[in-house]
């Protein structure tokens, strides 16, 4: 079965004139609608309008044009079913062998700052998804079926198969393209449902509804596979990396790899932890991450200075780590970074001289990530048989929200250290204790089952790195349940502490701080990270 008739109706018109011309050169009759038909006709191609094909004019401002038996009958009739083909003959319905459709740009429309509901509604495609589903359902058996194309990148593949021995797209290609079409319509419907759900959550609840639901009853997530990975967290686990194309600039998934080996599962996970931490700071910052925890964070007047200070926190853990900067890496910084063993380097830009230096480190994965303010709409954690879904922990600390609860108040310099420590603690696995001073981390305790153990580990790490904790600031991601944790950080040399508060023993902890002459600030916000 060769392709004799193609129906073309596309929103993305890139490459469509060339593809249609190649189809016509192979004897394929062209059906089309609206702007696509006009474009093809202006290119000198013979095109039959769908309205002429169906005998029914477009109505309702174009809302109804392809929803017709002469369209869907031609798409859905099984080529290997004599009764189906006899019905087409009796009803004078030509078979449609190739459908080339992509949908109204709903996502681009709702991404516009000036988009209103009426604009979004008018960009919900009805006829397009209906045709895609009909064609994809009838992609057929190995003997023949409908070919459905949604992506201009697939045009050459269809033509190549038409020029092959069978003179038609192979069953393997038709099956792949049908799968792609169903994934496309599922993502499209999911985006519409998510948009309407977001509107519903902002509307006042009807009186009959006691509380407005802020989460959709059915959550649809569509991701595009970017890479099949060598393995997952461990070599015996298969893995892949998927990209949420609806999220804008600023997120790691939009990275451009400049050089280096293929990223692994753990590389991507750790790189995300480093990038999210570094981009949360407004001034020049370096973050070094190992096993998803910051092991060194520092501000600097230059990227080089920030790196040198961050590296001092924990040189042992920095070995084989991920290094991220929130501004361009220059030659001097690249030379310094290149002296240590690292897996991944991340920055929004690199000077040409820096890239020349890094080129000598062929195994180092160098990533460039566009700066931006995009955030994930929600975080997901997989549990047995389900998902836990939450909004991301993106609350930024403001000194105006801090409450001094001790007799001694922090100095201006201490408040700067506390704010820095508090922001770092937001990215450290719980239980988290972070010692800071002079715009850098001094000791980090992460992921322990008890907060006091995290405090002890942070102190030990500082001692091992040769860093003094005298006069340091300490952040705790959650409240101190007992005074013993505060006693440990005080004995290590801390003179000010920032924590959420909220324990039934807050009074005991505050009294301990007053006893030791320590300034303590409550934030009222917890930053657990499991």
> Distance between CA atoms of 134 and 146, rounded to whole angstroms?
9
Q: CB within 8 A of 135, min separation 6: which ones?
A: 75, 96, 99, 101, 146, 147, 148, 178, 181
Could you tell me how many residues make up the chain? Answer: 530
Identify the residue with better confidence: 81 or 267.
267
Residue 378 pLDDT: 86
> Distance between CA atoms of 181 and 131, rounded to whole angstroms?
10
Q: CB within 8 A of 193, min separation 6: which ones?
A: 216, 218, 220
Q: How confident is the model at residue 102 (pLDDT cuts 50, 70, 90)?
A: confident
Backbone angles phi, psi at 379, to 5 degrees: -100, 145
Give the pLDDT confidence of 267-284 residue by residue, as tens digits.
Answer: 999 999 999 999 999 999
Q: Are 314 and 291 in contact (CB under 8 A)?
A: no
Instruction: Give the mean pLDDT of 394-400.
Output: 84
Is pLDDT above 60 for 208?
no
Torsion over CA: 420, 423, 428, 429 (sign): positive
Give the pLDDT confidence of 491-506 residue by residue, as tens digits.
Answer: 999 999 999 999 999 9
Instruction: Give the mean pLDDT of 309-330.
Output: 96
Q: Note the pTM of the prediction, 2 decimals.
A: 0.80
Q: CB within 8 A of 173, min separation 6: which ones?
A: 147, 157, 158, 161
Identify the residue with better confidence: 456 or 90.
456
Q: Are 450 and 470 in contact (CB under 8 A)?
A: no
Mean pLDDT, the chain, as a whole number? 90
Residue 125 pLDDT: 80
Give the pLDDT confidence of 108-132 residue by residue, as tens digits.
Answer: 888 788 888 888 888 888 888 899 9
Which candidate in 13, 291, 312, 370 is catalytic?
291
Q: How confident is the model at residue 488 (pLDDT cuts 50, 70, 90)?
A: very high
Instruction: Give the mean pLDDT of 383-396.
Output: 90
Residue 142 pLDDT: 65
Annotation marks residue 312 as catalytic? no
Is pLDDT above 80 for 425?
yes
Which candidate in 137, 180, 243, 261 is catalytic?
137
**Tokens found for residue 28:** 């394929």
Q: How confident is the model at residue 209 (pLDDT cuts 50, 70, 90)?
A: very low
Residue 213 pLDDT: 56
Angle between helices 127-137 and 171-202 (to 10 degrees): 150
Annotation marks residue 137 as catalytic? yes
Residue 110 pLDDT: 82
Largest CA distance in the chain: 96
> Distance between CA atoms of 184 and 199, rounded to whole angstroms?
23
Instruction: Give the mean pLDDT of 36-62.
Output: 86
Is pLDDT above 70 for 226?
yes
Identify the residue with better confidence: 2 or 180.
180
Instruction: Give the mean pLDDT of 3-27.
Output: 93
Residue 210 pLDDT: 45
Is pLDDT above 80 for 215?
no
In the chain, pLDDT over 70 holds for what percent of residues?
96
The closest alpha carbon to 315, from 192, 460, 464, belongs to 464
Identify the residue with better confidence: 81 or 416.
416
Torsion over CA: 46, 49, 55, 57 (sign): negative
Is pLDDT above 50 for 176?
yes
Neighbours of 123 (CB within 10 A): 18
Residue 200 pLDDT: 58
């Amino acid at each position: 079965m060769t392709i004799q008739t193609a129906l073309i109706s596309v929103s993305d018109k890139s490459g469509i004139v060339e593809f249609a011309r190649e189809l016509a050169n192979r004897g394929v009759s062209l059906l089309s609608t609206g702007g696509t038909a006009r474009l093809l006709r202006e290119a000198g191609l013979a095109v039959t309008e769908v309205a002429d094909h169906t005998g029914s004019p477009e109505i309702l401002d174009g809302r109804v044009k392809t929803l017709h038996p002469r369209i869907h009958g031609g798409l859905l009739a099984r080529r290997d079913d004599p009764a189906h083909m006899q019905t087409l003959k009796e009803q004078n319905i030509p078979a449609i062998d190739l459908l080339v459709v992509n949908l109204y740009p709903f996502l681009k429309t709702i991404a516009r700052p000036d988009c209103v509901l009426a604009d979004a509604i008018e960009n919900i495609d009805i006829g397009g998804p209906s045709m895609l589903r009909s064609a994809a359902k009838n992609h057929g058996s190995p003997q023949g079926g409908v070919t459905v194309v949604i992506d201009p990148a697939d045009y050459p593949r269809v033509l190549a198969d038409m020029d092959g021995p069978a003179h038609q797209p192979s069953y393997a290609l038709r099956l792949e393209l049908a799968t792609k079409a169903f994934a496309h319509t599922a993502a499209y419907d999911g985006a519409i449902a998510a948009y309407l759900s977001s509107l519903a959550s902002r509307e006042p609840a009807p009186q009959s509804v006691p509380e407005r639901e802020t989460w959709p009853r059915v959550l649809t997530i569509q991701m595009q596979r970017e890479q099949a990975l060598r393995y997952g967290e461990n070599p015996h686990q298969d893995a892949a990396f998927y990209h949420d194309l609806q999220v804008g600039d600023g997120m790691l998934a939009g990275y451009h790899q400049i050089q280096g080996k293929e990223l692994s599962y753990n590389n991507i996970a750790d790189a995300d932890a480093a990038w999210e931490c570094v981009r949360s700071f407004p001034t020049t910052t370096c973050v070094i991450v190992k096993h998803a925890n910051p092991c060194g964070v520092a501000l600097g007047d230059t990227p080089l200075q920030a790196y040198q200070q961050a590296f001092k926190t924990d040189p042992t853990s920095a070995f084989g780590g991920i290094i991220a900067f929130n501004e361009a890496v220059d030659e001097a910084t690249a030379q310094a970074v290149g002296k240590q063993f690292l897996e991944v380097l991340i920055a929004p830009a690199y000077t040409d001289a820096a890239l020349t230096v890094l080129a000598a480190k062929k195994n180092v994965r160098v990533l460039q990530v566009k700066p931006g303010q995009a955030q994930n709409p929600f975080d997901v954690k997989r549990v047995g048989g389900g998902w836990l879904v939450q909004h991301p922990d993106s609350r930024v600390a403001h000194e105006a929200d801090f409450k001094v609860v001790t007799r001694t108040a922090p100095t201006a310099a201490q408040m700067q250290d506390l704010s820095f420590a508090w922001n770092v603690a937001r990215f450290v696995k719980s239980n988290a204790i972070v010692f800071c001073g002079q715009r850098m981390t001094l000791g980090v305790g992460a992921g322990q089952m008890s907060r006091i153990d995290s405090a002890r580990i942070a102190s030990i790490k500082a001692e091992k790195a040769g860093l003094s904790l005298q006069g340091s600031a300490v952040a705790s991601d959650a409240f101190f349940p007992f005074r013993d944790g505060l006693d440990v950080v005080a004995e290590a040399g801390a003179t000010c502490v920032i924590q959420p508060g909220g324990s039934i023993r807050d009074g005991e902890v505050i009294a301990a701080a007053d006893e030791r002459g320590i300034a303590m600030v409550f934030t009222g916000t917890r930053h657990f990270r499991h």
